[in-house]
Amino acid sequence: MDFLTHAFSMILLGGHMDIYLVCFGVIGTVLPDMDILMQRFSYTDSRLYIFSHGGITHSIAGSIILSVTGFITICLLQLAGILSLPAEPGFRIFGFGMILGGALLHVTLDYLACPGIPLLYPFSDKKYTLGIFPGPSIFLTIISVVFLVLLITGLITEFADTGGIYTWGIIFFTVIAFALIKKSFVAGRFRGHEAIPTFNPLHWILISDNGKEYTVSRYSITKGVYEESTYKKTDGVGEEDIKGLADDPEMKRLRYYSYLIIFERKDGKVRAYDPLRVSGLIFYPPKFRECEFIEEHKQQR
């Protein structure tokens, strides 16, 4: 989700708490998205793929480390006289709790969206998601931007104004509930399929796996299933070849970015790619959609 929605969700849950504590919580909610600043490293060095957006800072362990770092930074700024905050031990304890709670709230909300986040890193880089949103919710982003404009222009003067943050909260939870209902409906109708939402709220991508090939189709709530495609998992590539590539940094990065991987051999090359992103059926993440292995030489796109 976008950073405004994350921030407003913390303000909503903060209610009538001390304004300083609410600010601590807001800081916690935006900290995980600082990984945007680290993407250039993951883009240039495949070994650092976990430092991409939605990576290590969106894990439980990463959230805790970020919260501790953010809290220490605030304390140092207070000691330097740059910030003026209450010095009571109780306030600091609650302040750290709010930062940590905000960071974990961010992770919880991002868990709702595809392609998922590596919750258990460093134990595993597997992505987890409830899969009810295709990524940032465009509707929630628009609502959050409108709400911010109303705050800036003074049309909403208090966070607790019943015409303000609570109205936003009602819309926020309504959108989530509606997305959950849609997910339950599609998952129930197509058991055994992975259902991926799209930015069109009425359209889904369905994936089935029979062990040897993937079948990818599109589903519209109004017109049913259409545009079905089948992809063999491997074409001229053996299990030993795949195992031999498993520890390659480019292969790890490709797997991390992808929804599914197809392997094929052609003209002396082994090509690994994500058919969903290569075909344009899903455009996010846009980078590292395929990789070619030519003996010791690798080409990424």
DSSP characters for 229-267?
Answer: EEEESEES--HHHHHHHTT-HHHHHHHHH-S--EEEEET
Cβ atoms 31, 94 nearer than 8 A = no
Examine the domain organization and report whether 83 and 113 are in the same domain. yes
For residue range 242-269, what is the model confidence (pLDDT) as tens digits? 999 999 999 999 999 999 999 999 888 9
Distance (Å, rounded) from C-alpha 137 to C-alpha 246? 34
Q: Which of 93, 109, 133 is the last residue of a domain?
A: 133
152 within a domain of the structure (yes/no): no
173 within a domain of the structure (yes/no): no
Examine the domain organization and report whether 217 and 290 are in the same domain. no
What lies within 8 Å, CB to CB, of 216 at 6+ separation is 205, 206, 207, 228, 229, 230, 231, 275, 276, 281
pLDDT, mean over the chain: 90
DSSP H helices in the chain: 3-14, 19-30, 39-44, 60-79, 89-110, 138-152, 165-189, 239-245, 249-257, 275-278
Query: What average pLDDT does the segment 21-48 reach?
Result: 91
- The residue segments making up the domain with residue 98 are 3-133
Examine the domain organization and report whether 207 and 283 are in the same domain. no
User: Residue 129: enclosing H or E segment and its boundaries?
Assistant: none
How far CA 95 is from CA of 5, 7, 75, in Å, comes to 21, 16, 10
Query: What average pLDDT does the segment 80-88 reach?
Result: 85
User: Residue 53 — φ and ψ, nearest 5°?
Assistant: -65, 135
58 within a domain of the structure (yes/no): yes
Distance (Å, rounded) from C-alpha 67 to C-alpha 98? 9
Examine the domain organization and report whether 197 and 225 are in the same domain. yes
Examine the domain organization and report whether 264 and 288 are in the same domain. yes
pLDDT score, position 59: 97
Query: What average pLDDT does the segment 56-71 reach?
Result: 96
Q: Which of 181, 198, 231 is the last residue of a domain?
A: 231
Examine the domain organization and report whether 210 and 246 are in the same domain. no
User: Nearest-CA neighbor of 106 among 148, 136, 81?
Assistant: 136
Examine the domain organization and report whether 206 and 219 are in the same domain. yes
35 within a domain of the structure (yes/no): yes
Q: Which of 118, 133, 148 is the last residue of a domain?
A: 133
User: Nearest-CA neighbor of 19 among 124, 91, 104, 80?
Assistant: 91
Query: What average pLDDT does the segment 120-125 reach?
Result: 95
Examine the domain organization and report whether 128 and 197 are in the same domain. no
177 within a domain of the structure (yes/no): no
Confidence label for 158 from pLDDT (cuts 50, 70 and 90): low
Q: Count the domains in the chain.
A: 3
Distance (Å, rounded) from C-alpha 67 to C-alpha 58? 12
Angle between helix 3-14 and 19-30 (nearest 10): 150
Examine the domain organization and report whether 196 and 282 are in the same domain. no
Examine the domain organization and report whether 196 and 116 are in the same domain. no
- Name which residue leads in pLDDT, 191 or 40: 191
Entry pTM? 0.90
pLDDT score, position 84: 84
pLDDT score, position 160: 47
138 within a domain of the structure (yes/no): no
């295709």: which residue's tokens? 134
Examine the domain organization and report whether 211 and 279 are in the same domain. no
Examine the domain organization and report whether 75 and 39 are in the same domain. yes
171 within a domain of the structure (yes/no): no
176 within a domain of the structure (yes/no): no
